[in-house]
């Protein structure tokens, strides 16, 4: 196996092997762009190292061969005292993990070669500054020395000299600092800073491998659902310097605005600085457009390269570049992260430019982004107290209590508080706090600062670089213009779409995207903004492409109508128990507890007209579309009085010697029906089988409602669904009774109702015997909530609060199986049941109505296994439509 690739050998499709950075450096090299020469050590080498604790045997020789070739090409040797070649050693995994892993710059500098570099560059100060940076970075990341020690020494040097910025330190000061830094290394790491350049390089490579399993990196991967076994590649790249004076500098840029998608010049530039300074958000940058005045030749070349990259990648790219004494070098490019709104806009813009087609456009957006666009926004017309404005780095409207450190953010959010994490700038150590916070506010750094990049990746609201806010993290407070002080715990609101910062809680209003789906805003109308237009077009692309139909879980006309507006093609689940809450609950309670036939029949008689009316309304609102009505499926305890409360009432009455016969009777009945595991108890079809007349009452209500709608020239399309079936016999009994009732109603009304009867598949036994069950069912709807509960043996009401956090932390699953379908377990049963069901009955209609029906990843799975539709809550319908379209690409 080959472990090392020269930049000229790779290409952008080799991300698995070369990591994102390595693959794209190779691509740029092959496009003829100015990339400093170098080579990439593969993720395979990293994996061998992580698995065995040792680098692969062949690696050392391969690195030597590539290093020699690099040296020959550059005409100098690594660390050569009079004319040193210096390299950077950078991590680069398949997926971008900004700032999560290690990088070491200026490898090759030593007590000797620092002199050579000074001569080479004609600049003593620069050489000593580079050396002190190497010892600092190497000490911290490779040798594990506490970075603060170096920072403190640097601050002390500045204080001694009475200067405030690093650049005011002169060569002699930096030379002293190098001595100090070396002492720190010796004391803390128990060894000297290595003077052998090859040793520096080898140790740095190993440190990058190790950083794959650093705490920050692991946390980030869990959050972003990046697999833990990919490993990172390592890029060894000849150094170019942005800190060689005012004709040098470094910057980051986007080929179009990552917030709006508009084409133009977007980026930040920092004169006389080295790469990491920009991303770290340490010094304030100037807008990229100003580079035109600073260095027109490099600026023009950069614009040209950006155009080449956009046309080549056919997408927004972000880039890092360095200018060394007027010569432009490309250090990195990748398809850039963007806000949800920009993703939609850019996808449609690229279609209009003829760069991509509709199908490709669908791959450029996703359901999670659409869901984000449906979040409410701040009410602009509300009375608000704006105290600052920063850069709109990641959209959303976030309200919460101000906290000034990650630890507090995590602690408070665990106890249920919503918090806004406020920092001067963030760094990778703040990741926990960023995850816990509703939003992130920083007073320094641009659109490409750590806070901005990471928040965008997480879909979290972020305002950065709000410079007029004075953040004092030590005293846990922030001073706003005018002198008002925001203390820890004070409520603030931040708007990641405008960059505005407010004191107190600002009310929120619906998003324009929701207004569009609701039909209150129309694309093409004056008030429709570009975003709505883009969403409208992308939804049309998805609808044209998708095979899966999308239905709604809705139990009342209001939800049904909204669902229709959102594009539902029917109701996939009407939970009739939701129709028995409120005033009607008592009727059901009486029905369940009835001692005599007469009592029971009386309750049923009262329930029938109420149910019928419910269905009439539902059929009317979904006229012409299928409506699946599930017969009653309550866990019994939800409809019975609370046993403790009732016991207290009885005991009180007894002690006061008051009459309490009724309560006592009720208590005895509740005791009789009490279950330890109501979810596994008397519910669903079981209830229908033990309470005579219950299901037939519901079937009659459905049939009569359908007949009434037909008489009114409507087009009701009812489907009757039997829940929690485990064996075909249960279904057969219910069907026999139902068929009788339907025939009676048809006879009485003189109409053919064409009602179909099917079942839910939500128990493992039902899935395993689906071939038999299909004999008695015209359709299956997978109840993946109960199916997940019963396949895993997880109580759906309890586990998320009890041990799921631990399971997620331990990586047993990356996401709750109640949220995203467990393909291997629950999914296998779905696949098996679908196949067996269709073998018995080729025209068997198949759908899913568990929560997974609206989950993006699960929708793709249901598409793949050939279901006919997914059903989800009304608000998730647009997401399901979009994902169904994406699944079909």
Q: Considering 450, 536, 637, 852, which one is annotated as catalytic?
A: 450
Cα separation, 575 vs 124, whole angstroms: 77
Only segment of 21-29, 132-140, 176-184, 784-792 that touches ligand PEP (CB under 6 A): 784-792
At its nearest, how many Å lie between Mg ion and the CB of residue 684?
7
- Answer yes or no: are the C-beta atoms of 862 and 870 closer than 8 Å: yes
Number of residues counted as binding ligand PEP (CB under 6 A): 9
Q: Considering 46, 464, 849, 872, which one is annotated as catalytic?
A: 849
- Answer yes or no: are the C-beta atoms of 66 and 74 closer than 8 Å: no
Cα separation, 100 vs 467, whole angstroms: 26
459: left (phi over 0), alpha (psi -120 to 50) or beta: left
At its nearest, how many Å lie between ligand PEP and the CB of residue 881?
20
- Answer yes or no: are the C-beta atoms of 288 and 269 closer than 8 Å: yes
User: Which of Mg ion, ligand PEP, none sits in contact with 850, Cβ below 5 to 8 A by type?
Assistant: ligand PEP
Only segment of 236-244, 583-591, 662-670, 782-790 that touches ligand PEP (CB under 6 A): 782-790
Q: Closer CB to ligand PEP, residue 220 or residue 818?
A: 818
At its nearest, how many Å lie between ligand PEP and the CB of residue 37?
57
Q: Closer CB to ligand PEP, residue 400 or residue 783?
A: 783
CA torsion 412-418-420-426 (nearest 10°) is 50
- With CB under 5 A as the contact rule, the residue among 495, 762, 851, 883 that binds Mg ion is 762
Q: Closer CB to Mg ion, residue 181 or residue 639?
A: 639
- With CB under 6 A as the contact rule, the residue among 573, 687, 720, 836 that binds ligand PEP is 573
Only segment of 247-255, 345-353, 783-791, 875-883 that touches ligand PEP (CB under 6 A): 783-791
Footprint (CB under 6 A) of ligand PEP, residues 574-613:
575
Cα separation, 288 vs 270, whole angstroms: 9
Annotated active-site residue 671? The verdict is no
Footprint (CB under 6 A) of ligand PEP, residues 693-752:
none
Q: Closer CB to Mg ion, residue 512 or residue 783?
A: 783
Q: Closer CB to ligand PEP, residue 762 or residue 822?
A: 762
For 340, 365, 374, 522, 882, the CA distances from 513, given in Å and listed in that order, are 12, 15, 6, 10, 14
CB atoms within 10 A of CB 168: 11
Cα angle 667, 669, 673; round to 5: 115
Specify the DSSP class assigned to residue 506: P
Strands 485-487 and 477-479: antiparallel
For 869, residues 6+ apart whose C-beta sits below 8 A from its C-beta are: 548, 549, 550, 551, 569, 570, 572, 846, 847, 848
Cα separation, 394 vs 366, whole angstroms: 17
At its nearest, how many Å lie between ligand PEP and the CB of residue 458?
29
At its nearest, how many Å lie between Mg ion and the CB of residue 31?
55
Q: Closer CB to ligand PEP, residue 268 or residue 762?
A: 762
Annotated active-site residue 872? The verdict is no
- With CB under 6 A as the contact rule, the residue among 315, 318, 425, 786 that binds ligand PEP is 786
CB atoms within 10 A of CB 598: 8
User: And the tokens for 821?
Assistant: 């379908």
| Contact flag: residue 783 with ligand PEP (CB under 6 A) | yes
325: left (phi over 0), alpha (psi -120 to 50) or beta: left
| Contact flag: residue 850 with ligand PEP (CB under 6 A) | yes
At its nearest, how many Å lie between Mg ion and the CB of residue 797?
12
CB atoms within 10 A of CB 619: 28
Specify the DSSP class assigned to residue 325: T
For 187, residues 6+ apart whose C-beta sits below 8 A from its C-beta are: none
| Contact flag: residue 577 with Mg ion (CB under 5 A) | no
Only segment of 26-34, 80-88, 363-371, 780-788 that touches ligand PEP (CB under 6 A): 780-788
At its nearest, how many Å lie between ligand PEP and the CB of residue 766?
11
- With CB under 5 A as the contact rule, the residue among 108, 267, 341, 783 that binds Mg ion is 783
Q: Closer CB to ligand PEP, residue 500 or residue 683?
A: 683
Cα separation, 455 vs 462, whole angstroms: 6
| Contact flag: residue 784 with ligand PEP (CB under 6 A) | yes
At its nearest, how many Å lie between ligand PEP and the CB of residue 784?
5
Q: Closer CB to ligand PEP, residue 243 or residue 790?
A: 790
Q: Number of H helices and number of E strands within the chain?
A: 36, 31
Cα separation, 721 vs 615, whole angstroms: 14
Residue nearest to Mg ion (CB): 786
- Answer yes or no: are the C-beta atoms of 413 and 424 closer than 8 Å: no
**Residue linked to tokens 């001073």:** 479
Cα separation, 352 vs 330, whole angstroms: 29
At its nearest, how many Å lie between ligand PEP and the CB of residue 871?
8
Only segment of 16-24, 144-152, 188-196, 778-786 that touches ligand PEP (CB under 6 A): 778-786
Query: How many angstroms separate the most distant Cα atoms in the chain?
Result: 106
Residue 420 three-state SS: strand
Q: Closer CB to Mg ion, residue 670 or residue 849?
A: 849
Only segment of 272-280, 583-591, 698-706, 758-766 that touches Mg ion (CB under 5 A): 758-766
Catalytic residue set: 450, 849
Residues at the interface with ligand PEP (CB under 6 A): 573, 575, 762, 783-786, 849-850
Residues at the interface with Mg ion (CB under 5 A): 762, 783, 786
């Amino acid at each position: 196996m080959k472990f090392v690739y020269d930049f000229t050998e790779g290409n952008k499709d080799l991300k698995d092997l070369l990591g994102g950075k390595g693959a794209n450096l190779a691509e740029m090299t092959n496009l003829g762009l100015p990339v400093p020469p170098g080579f990439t050590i593969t993720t395979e080498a990293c994996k061998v190292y992580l698995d065995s604790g040792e680098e692969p045997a062949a690696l050392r020789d391969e690195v030597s061969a590539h290093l020699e070739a690099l040296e020959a090409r550059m005409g100098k040797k690594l660390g050569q005292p009079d004319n040193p070649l210096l390299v950077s050693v950078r991590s680069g995994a398949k997926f971008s993990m900004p700032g999560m892993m290690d990088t070491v710059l200026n490898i090759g500098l030593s007590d000797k070669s620092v002199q050579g570099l000074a001569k080479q560059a004609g600049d003593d100060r620069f050489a000593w500054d580079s050396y002190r940076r190497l010892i600092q970075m190497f000490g911290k990341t490779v040798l594990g020395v506490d970075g603060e020690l170096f920072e403190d020494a640097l601050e002390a040097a500045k204080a001694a000299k009475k200067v405030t910025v690093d650049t005011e330190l002169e060569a002699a000061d930096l030379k002293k600092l190098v001595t100090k830094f070396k002492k720190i290394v010796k004391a803390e790491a128990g060894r000297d800073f290595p003077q052998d350049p090859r040793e520096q390089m080898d140790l740095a490579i190993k440190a990058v491998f190790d950083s794959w399993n650093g705490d920050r990196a692991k946390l980030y991967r869990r959050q972003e659902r990046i697999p833990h076994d990919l490993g990172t590649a390592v890029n060894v790249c000849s150094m170019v310097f942005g800190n060689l004076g005012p004709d040098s500098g470094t910057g980051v840029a986007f080929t179009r605005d990552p917030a709006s998608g508009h084409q133009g010049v977007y980026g930040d530039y920092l004169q006389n600085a080295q790469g990491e300074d920009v991303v770290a958000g340490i010094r304030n940058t100037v807008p990229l457009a100003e580079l035109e005045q600073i260095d027109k030749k490099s600026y023009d070349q950069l614009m040209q390269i950006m155009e080449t990259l956009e046309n080549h990648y056919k997408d927004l790219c972000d880039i890092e570049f360095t200018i060394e004494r007027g010569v432009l070098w490309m250090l990195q490019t990748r398809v850039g992260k963007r806000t949800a709104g920009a993703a939609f806009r850019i996808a449609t813009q690229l279609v209009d430019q003829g760069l991509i087609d509709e199908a490709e456009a669908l791959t450029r957006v996703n359901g999670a982004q659409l869901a984000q666009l449906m979040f409410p926004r701040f009410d602009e017309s509300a009375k608000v107290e704006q105290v600052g404005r920063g850069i709109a780095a990641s959209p959303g409207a976030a309200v919460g209590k101000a906290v000034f450190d990650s630890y507090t953010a995590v602690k408070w959010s665990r106890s249920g508080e919503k918090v806004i994490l406020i920092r001067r700038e963030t760094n990778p150590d703040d990741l926990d706090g960023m995850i816990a916070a509703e939003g992130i506010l920083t007073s320094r750094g641009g659109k490409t600062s750590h806070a901005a990049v990471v928040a965008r990746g997480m879909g979290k609201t972020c305002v950065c670089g709000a410079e007029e806010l004075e953040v004092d993290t030590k005293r846990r407070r922030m001073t706003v213009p005018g002198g008002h002080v925001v203390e820890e715990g004070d409520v603030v609101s931040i708007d990641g779409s405008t960059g505005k910062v407010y004191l107190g809680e600002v009310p929120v209003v619906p998003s324009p995207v929701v207004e569009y789906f609701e039909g209150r805003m129309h694309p093409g109308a004056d008030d429709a903004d570009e975003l709505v237009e883009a969403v409208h077009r992308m939804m049309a692309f998805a609808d044209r492409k998708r095979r899966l139909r999308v239905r709604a879980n809705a139990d009342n006309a209001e939800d049904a109508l909204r669902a229709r507006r959102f594009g539902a093609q029917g109701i996939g689940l009407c939970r009739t128990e939701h129709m028995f809450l409120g005033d009607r609950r008592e009727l059901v309670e009486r029905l369940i507890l009835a001692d005599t036939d007469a009592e029971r029949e009386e309750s049923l008689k009262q329930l029938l007209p109420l149910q019928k009316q419910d269905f009439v309304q539902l059929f009317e609102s979904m006229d012409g579309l299928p409506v699946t009505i599930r017969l009653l499926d309550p866990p019994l305890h939800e409809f019975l009085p609370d046993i403790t409360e009732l016991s207290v009432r009885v005991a009180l009455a007894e002690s006061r010697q008051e009459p309490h016969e009724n309560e006592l009777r009720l208590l005895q009945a509740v005791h009789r029906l009490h279950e330890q595991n109501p979810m596994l108890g008397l519910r669903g079809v079981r209830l229908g089988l033990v309470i005579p007349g219950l299901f037939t009452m519901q079937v009659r209500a459905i049939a009569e409602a359908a007949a009434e709608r037909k008489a009114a020239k409507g087009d009701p399309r009812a489907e009757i669904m039997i829940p929690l079936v485990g064996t075909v016999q249960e279904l057969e009994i219910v069907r026999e009774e139902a068929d009788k009732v339907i025939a009676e109603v048809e006879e009485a009304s003189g109409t053919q109702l064409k009602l179909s009867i099917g079942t839910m598949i939500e128990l493992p036994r039902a899935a395993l015997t689906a071939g038999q069950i299909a004999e008695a069912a015209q359709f299956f709807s997978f109840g993946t909530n109960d199916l997940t509960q019963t396949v895993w043996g997880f109580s759906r009401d309890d586990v998320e609060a009890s041990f799921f956090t631990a399971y997620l932390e331990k990586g047993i699953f990356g996401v709750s199986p109640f949220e995203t379908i467990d393909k291997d377990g629950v999914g296998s049963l779905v696949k098996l049941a679908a196949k067996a069901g269709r073998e018995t009955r080729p025209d068997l209609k198949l759908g899913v109505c568990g929560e997974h029906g609206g989950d993006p990843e699960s929708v793709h799975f249901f598409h793949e296994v050939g279901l006919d539709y997914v059903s989800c809550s009304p608000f998730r319908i647009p997401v399901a439509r979009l994902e169904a379209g994406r699944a079909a690409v």
